[in-house]
Structure formats: C-alpha cells, structure tokens
Chains A and B, each alone.
Chain A
C-alpha cells in the first residue's frame, strides 16, 4: 500500500479534473450570465444564462462522478481513502451556489497533491485555497488598525483562526487560548481573493505590527508571516497528536491503542511532518489487519463500493445520465445522511456508528441496496441482467461474509433481492 503511495496518483491520472484557472473561469462566466439576465431580461440573456447554468451543473456533477470513478477504478484504494479523509479534515462547503465548483475543486488542487507528502504543505495549500478563505469568512476579515479599517466600517473576524487551531492543527484540547485565536486572526488579515479569484494578499487590509501566537512573535510584510505561522502550527507536538489520533480513529478503531498514537506522532515530528512514515506506523499496528467491524462505512463509501461490487466501471459513472445520477446518488446520499459536499460544519462528517445507524438512515441504505443496483446496471445498456448475487458476494466480501449471509443470498428469490441483501448486510456496511 505504501509503495503505491510513493508513486504517481493513479486515481487522478485515470480521471483528471480541471485546473483552478478553468474552474474560476467557468464560475465567473456563470456568475456574469446570471447577473446579466437579472439586469437585462432579454431572450439572448436568458439563453446565455441557461447555457452557463447547464455547463456549471455539469461541471459540478463531474466532481461527484470523478470521486466515485476514481474510487472504483484506481488500483490504489488506500490513496483514495486518504484523499477522502483529508478532504473531510479540511471541509469546505459552498456558501452560495456560485462557490460550488471552487469548493469541490479544493480536493484536486490542495488535497490530492499532498496526501503522500508533508502535512506542512497540505496545510498551507488547504488553508490558502480560495474555498477555505471563502468558507470561513477570511476574505472579509481586516485588521482593526489597518488602513482599510480607517475608512470603512469593517474589521476582524475570528472564524478561520479558531478552526485552524481547533480543527485543522492543534485540536481542541491543544494548548492555545482565546488570546492566541485573536492574535492569529489578526495575523491572517490581508488574505484576499484577487479579481480573478485567486488567493492574494493586500497589505492595507493587514493588521500592522507583530502578533504573538503560542508565545512566538510574527512580524514582517506580506504573506510570509502567515506561511511562517502555518509552518509552526504544522510542526507543533499538539498537531502531531491530534492528527495521529484522528487518523487512528478513522482507519483503525474508535478506541485506538495509545501506543500506536504515540508512535505515529513521533514519526510525524521526526520526519518534518511527512505523512508516509505516519501511515507506516499506523498500518504496522495489529488493528490495521483485523476486521473487527467496529466502524460503519459512511454513505459515500457504500455507494462507491456498491457500484464496484456489481461490476460497474468508472466510465459507467461518468456516462450516467444526470437524472439517474441525481436519483441514485445525490438523493440517496442525502437520505443516508451525507449529502455531497454538504457537511454541517467545518468539522466534517461524524465518525461514530450511532450517527449513521438511525432507523431512517438505515432505511435509506436498504432502499439503495434493493433498488439502485438494478437501475444502475440497466443504465449501462447491453447485457441487462444483474450479475449473480453469489459472485457479487465473493467479489465484495470474500471470506468476510458470514454463513448466515451466504445462505440468505442463495435463498433470495431474485437477483435483485440477492444483490440487495449483500449490499445491505452488516458485513458490507461495516469494516
């Protein structure tokens, strides 16, 4: 697994996404077309708005499609799971419709390139990506004593500074105070989005003078002091423990061994925040090999795994009609409790089993298992019969399937029910 991680990003190579420039261009054209239509209610303006609307929605769908296609096709499954973990760690959601593509694009631009690299680089890329600056209000925050604040009634906003320490680096039990939050918020002032929508820095919005964060002083012009504080936060021992614990809880168990967290944190600090040595310690833990079934797989994983189990390919997902993508992916994700790019807050999706296992959410899992495979399989055209449920069982669960499940699958009246039982089974829904 680790060898694959040190090689190229197979998922992104199979299904590459657009660059930031393209995303910003489509976003801007879409915004202008809508604005123009509001101002000039002409048939031409309307036509242009509809065209850009369709393009924008297709591009937004493509992020969801690629996410599934990569999970289905990539030989490097661990990398895909790491990408999902880190994109959740740095959750952003669009505050307005027009931020949809920018928010979704952060995974390709800021997360994927660094999941096998150093956390310090990952942190810098994720925090300074336009989606984060928009989502946590940073672009609206200006220094209380900055030039801009002298003439406009606008000032400091603590939102990003707090979450940066609480969620992204030190963790809520880390050794920081409200004073540090405030100082970091002042230090982050000056970050803006340029006219083209890229991250920039404006000195006249920045709080003048030095700031003290966690006992260290940050001074100087431009964005350099911000890079410096992000570097220091990444290297902090509290960050090492917070990230190690979160990784262990996600990949090993809800109650990981403290010793493995210690080893992961030590590897992190000894290797200048490089993540591969941290993963190596984690995968070296005996819990990484056992299948305790203590964790519930989140809905997005169920849908990707379900598609893969029946033999769909990434190209099938890419070619799925928008209507079917909505009915069999977007809506079920909401019903299972994990709307696409719609986490409730910057802390991302919950880890605990109970959250996913309410009656309604389980009903949504069962419904998807019973209905979606047939419809998705038929949508591929050609051979319409669902694969034999026994093959689906072996392909997806192998030796993990209990005798009770194996029996139940053979006794199903239809292939549809049989496949549904595999995908709705506890074995399939846990890990």
Chain B
C-alpha cells in the first residue's frame, strides 16, 4: 500500500509538469510557514551534483587502514592532508583546510543511493537526482527531489530556487517554479515580436512557461548587468589566452583554467542571488570519471569544486553562516586501482558538506573497513548509509520539514534513522 501511494504521488508530479500549479500538492497542509520570500527562513541550501562518479576513497583517504595503500600502489601522488588521524584529504582540496579547522567542512563516507550492481552513470545519476528508492520504476519519476521539497512548501516564488549552469539539472525538474541561469545567454527581440510570440506560445504550456521566463529574464536590468560583466570577463580571458599563445609559452604563475573560472562565475552568480530572495541553488560539476590517470582527471575537478566553495564563501559574506553546501555523486569507485592508474565504477562513495551552518570538522558515517570480505561484491567500498538520509536531515534541520514529508514526498521510501547532528 505504501508503494501504491508513492506511485500515485509521483504520477501527480508528472501531471503537474503540464500545467497544474504547486497548489495541487497533497502536502500543502503539512507545513505552515509565513508567506512570501521568507517562507524558507534565512537558511540557504546549495546542492552540487558531481557527475561521473567521484572516487570518495581518493578524496577522503582512509590512510589509517593499512590495506588502503596496498590497493592503490600507483594511484596516490602527493600525500593527503591530515583530517582526523584516520582519514586524510586529497591535496587538491587543500584550500579548504581553513574551513575544516573552522568547523565549516565535513564529509560523509561509505554512503550511496540505493542503486546497486549495474554501476551505470546514467541510471546512477537519475536515481540520485530523482531521490527514489529502487521500488519506483524510473520512467515514472519525472521530477527531482529538490523540486519535490519545494512543492511541499506553499507560497514560494520562482525566485526561491535557481538551477545554475549549462547542464540540465533533473534534481530541480518538476512542478514547483524554479529559475535557471546560464552565463552569457541573452535574448534580442522586438516588442512586437515578443507580443506575437506570447500569443503563439499560449497554445503550448511547456514552451510557454520556459519562453515567458526567458523573455522576462532577458529584460531584467540586473540580468543584463550580469551578462555584461560575464561577457567582459570572457573577452578578457580570451585575450589573455591569445596573448599567451602569441608568446608561445605559458607564464610561470599557475593560470586559472577555464573550468575553474567558469565554476567561480557560477558561484558568484549564485551567491548574488542567495544574498537576495533566493534560498536554494543547484549546480552540476562533471569530470570525475577517472578510468585513467586519475590524479590528473580528478585533480582538475577538485580544483573547480574548491574554487566553487571558496567563491561562495567569499561572496556570501555574512550569509555564509546560514549556508549549507552538499556535494554528492552517483556512486563511488573500485577500492583497488585498475590497470591504467585509474579506478572503475564502484558503489559506496563520499559526500562533501560545507558552510557556516554545519557542524563540521568531522567525517560522518560508519566505516565498513577495506578487508576484501567487507567490500561490496569484493570490489567496492560497502555503503553503510543511504545518501538521501543525510540530505533529508539537512533539510529537516534547515527548514523544519516534517519527517513524514521527507520520508514520503521528497524521498519516497527513505528511513531517515537517528538525527546525526549535522548542523549547528
């Protein structure tokens, strides 16, 4: 019966996509909050989806376990930075050590979604973003868990949540109004053209919603200003690149890579919104699928993640103390290195938490050990928790959502377990 309800709910989500408003949500009565931009209070939540399966065992290294080094003789380059006596941090996240010391950085280890065995990136990401267990057939789930969370809160404006960046973000798809932003996209259209297009789009709800938002966004002054800033920055960077090529050599100073600067730009935009009425922002960061030369592959991605967090912290200022960042991935990678100084698809992985609102300086989760018998399928880190439970406790802590709402509407079928005390 519980399954039945879940399916009905998720079907409703699909129906809502084609025109019903959040007012149709069956969860409206379970949460009572003030109206307007204040409905979610002061707390900010930033979710980063790390696409490609981040190797949790490389990022938060269980060096206290003697087997670790024996599994990875060719993989570990520079030594990790000590965290708690057992785990060390990947050196390319070294810029986050001050946050660790200030209690603004934490990790969860040996965690995963309920997804097992096939180890497909795409199914893994679908399940991570849909937030479902495996008892719900994927094609039925058309909305993401962060959107369903928004659906449970009445009175939100579309300004409340932003999907930031070029990649599609199924995490925020769904009936609740959400805005999206991509650097340097602008729309040039005549006033008459706009009026006529509005008539033409009125026939097509999906198109209409996206197009109206696009045209509104394009006409807002703040948006234009951001675009100009962005375009200037891009041009400056291209000129710099061109200059370096003309010289035929690279300068000694470590140049900011395109990825780092893009992730900083996204963070800067998100911070600007979060300082205003926006409470939720989500990104995705790809580049973790390290089948080969893991040190290089993951190094650049970690650097981009570090820049993203540091820029958020810098630009958020006072608001950082009310901010929680969750960075999660579809699954971890094999405990042993493969034949190409890389790792293949695995199961248990790690999640990163940052922000002034968290109680950091800790690696959460029960450590399962690395003995072959303790590994999942004798190859992967054994997951000891459901990654959704950490996100659920975070949202409960930030927004006071009822446990039943989180376990049924947001993450159907989740058992949250005991409060792990993630927040201050």
Q: Which residues of A are in contact with B by a Cβ distance under 8 Å? A: 37, 41, 46, 137, 140-142, 144, 149, 153-159, 162, 166, 172, 177-178, 181, 293, 334-335, 337, 344-345, 347, 350, 353-355, 357-364, 366-367, 370-371, 402, 404-405, 407-408, 411-414, 417, 420-421, 424-426, 429-430
Q: Assess whether A357 is in contact with B339, with CB atoms less than 8 Å apart.
A: no
Interface SS, A side: helix
> Interface with A: B188-196, B260-268, B351-359, which one?
B188-196
Contact code string B172-188 (vs A, CB < 8 Å = 1, else 0): 01000001111001111
- Please tell me which one of the listed residues A293, A335, A344, A362 contacts residue B167 in the complex, with CB atoms under 8 A apart: A344
Inter-chain CA distance A141–B344, complex, in Å, is 12
Closest 10 CB pairs of A and B: A155-B339, A363-B214, A426-B204, A359-B213, A362-B210, A360-B182, A408-B196, A359-B214, A158-B344, A417-B193
Per the bound structure, the CA–CA distance linking A355 and B167 in Å amounts to 9
Smallest CB-CB separation from A421: which chain B residue? B196
Question: Would you give the 0/1 interface string for B316-344, flagging 1 where the beta carbon is closer than 8 Å to chain A?
Answer: 00000000000000000000001110101
Between-chain CB contacts (< 8 Å), 14 pairs: A177-B117, A335-B182, A344-B51, A347-B121, A358-B210, A360-B185, A360-B214, A363-B186, A366-B197, A366-B211, A408-B197, A408-B199, A411-B196, A430-B207
The CA of A137 and the CA of B291, in the complex, are separated in Å by 8
Q: Is the CB of B292 within 8 A of A157?
A: yes
Which residue of B121, B168, B207 is within 8 Å of A355 (Cβ)?
Answer: B168
Residues of B within 8 A of A149 (CB): 339
* Chain A residues whose C-beta falls within 8 Å of the C-beta of B286 in the assembled complex: 344
- Give the shortest distance, in Å, between B326 (CB) and chain A (any CB): 22
Q: When A166-B120, A178-B377, A426-B203 are in contact, do A37 and B340 touch as well, CB less than 8 Å?
A: no
Q: CA of A332 to CA of B270 in the docked complex: distance in angstroms?
A: 24
- Contact A144–B118 (Cβ < 8 Å): no
Instruction: Number of B interface residues at 8 Å Cβ cutoff, please give it.
Output: 59
Q: A323 → chain B, closest Cβ, in Å?
A: 14
Cα distance A407–B339 in the bound complex, in angstroms: 64
Number of A-B contacts defined by CB within 8 Å:
163
Say yes or no: A156 contacts B142, CB within 8 Å. Answer: no
A362 near B214 with CB under 8 A, answer yes
| Contact call A371/B188, Cβ cutoff below 8 A | yes
Which residues from A are CB-within-8-Å of B215? 363, 366
Docked Cα-Cα span, A156 to B163, in Å, equals 38
How distant is the Cα of A408 from the Cα of B292 in the complex, in angstroms?
A: 55
Among A137, A364, A430: residue with most chain B CB under 10 A:
A137
Is B119 a contact of A141 with CB atoms below 8 Å? Answer: no
A358 and B345 CA atoms in complex are apart in Å by 31
CA distance A171 to B185 in the complex (A): 36
Q: A37-B248, A371-B188 are in contact. Are A357 and B199 (CB under 8 A)?
A: no
Whether A156 pairs with B206 at a CB distance below 8 angstroms is no
- Known contacts A417-B190, A420-B193: does B120 contact A172 (CB below 8 Å)? yes
Question: Which B residues are within 8 Å of any A CB, using their own CB?
Answer: 17, 51-52, 74, 117-123, 142, 163, 166-168, 173, 179-182, 185-190, 192-193, 196-197, 199-204, 206-207, 210-211, 213-215, 217-218, 248, 286, 289, 291-292, 338-340, 342, 344-345, 377, 379
Q: Is the CB of B338 within 8 A of A155?
A: yes
Bound Cα distance A295, B188 (Å): 26
Whether A162 contacts B345 in the complex (CB less than 8 A), given A157-B338, A358-B210, comes out as yes
Task: State A30–B203 Cα separation when bound (angstroms).
Answer: 52
Q: A144 to B339, alpha carbons, bound, how many Å? A: 7
Q: Given A162-B345, A335-B182, A357-B207, do A156 and B339 touch, yes or no (CB 8 Å)?
A: yes
> Whole-angstrom distance between the alpha carbons of A412 and B202 in the complex?
17
- Give the complex CA separation of A413 and B189 in angstroms: 12
**A142 touching B122 by the CB < 8 A rule?**
no
* Chain B residues whose C-beta falls within 8 Å of the C-beta of A413 in the assembled complex: 190, 192-193
B187, B199, B217, B339: which has the most chain A beta carbons within 10 Å?
Answer: B339
Smallest CB separation, B157 vs chain A (Å): 15
Interchain nearest-CB distance for A393 vs B (Å) = 11
B residues within 8 A CB of A430? 204, 207
List 8 other contacts, CB 8 Å, given A360-B217, A413-B192: A158-B344, A293-B204, A358-B163, A362-B211, A363-B187, A363-B217, A366-B189, A407-B199
With contacts A158-B338, A413-B192 known, is A359 near B217, CB below 8 A?
yes
- Looking across the interface, which residue of chain B has its beta carbon closest to that of A49? B248
Task: Give, as a whole number of angstroms, the nearest-CB distance from A241 to chain B.
Answer: 15
Q: Find out whether the CB atom of A421 lies under 8 angstroms from the CB atom of B193.
A: yes
Pair B339/A154 contact, Cβ less than 8 Å: yes
- CB within 8 A of A358: which of B52, B168, B187, B203? B168
Q: Kindly provide the distance from the CB of B222 to the nearest chain A CB, expressed in whole angstroms.
A: 15
| Chain B neighbourhood of A157, CB < 8 A | 291-292, 338-340, 342, 344
On chain A, the residues within 8 Å of B206 by CB distance are 353-354, 357
Bound complex: CA A41 to CA B199 (Å)? 61
Distance A363 CA – B218 CA, assembled complex (angstroms): 8
Q: Which residue of A lies closest to B17 (CB)?
A: A354
Closest chain A residue, CB of each to CB of B248: A41
Q: How far is the CB of B422 from chain A (nearest CB, A)?
A: 31
Q: A157-B344, A162-B119, A421-B197 are in contact. Are A137 and B188 (CB under 8 A)?
A: no
A334 CA / B165 CA spacing, docked (Å): 12
A359-B213, A417-B196 as given contacts; A367 in contact with B338, CB under 8 Å: no
Neighbouring B residues of A420 by C-beta, 8 Å = 189, 193
**Residues of A contacting B180 with CB < 8 Å?**
358-360
Give, as a whole number of angstroms, the nearest-CB distance from A359 to chain B.
4
Interface centre among B163, B189, B192 (most CB of A within 10 A): B189
Q: Is A404's CB under 8 angstroms from B168's CB? A: no
Q: Out of A142, A337, A367, name the residue touching B339 (CB < 8 Å).
A: A142
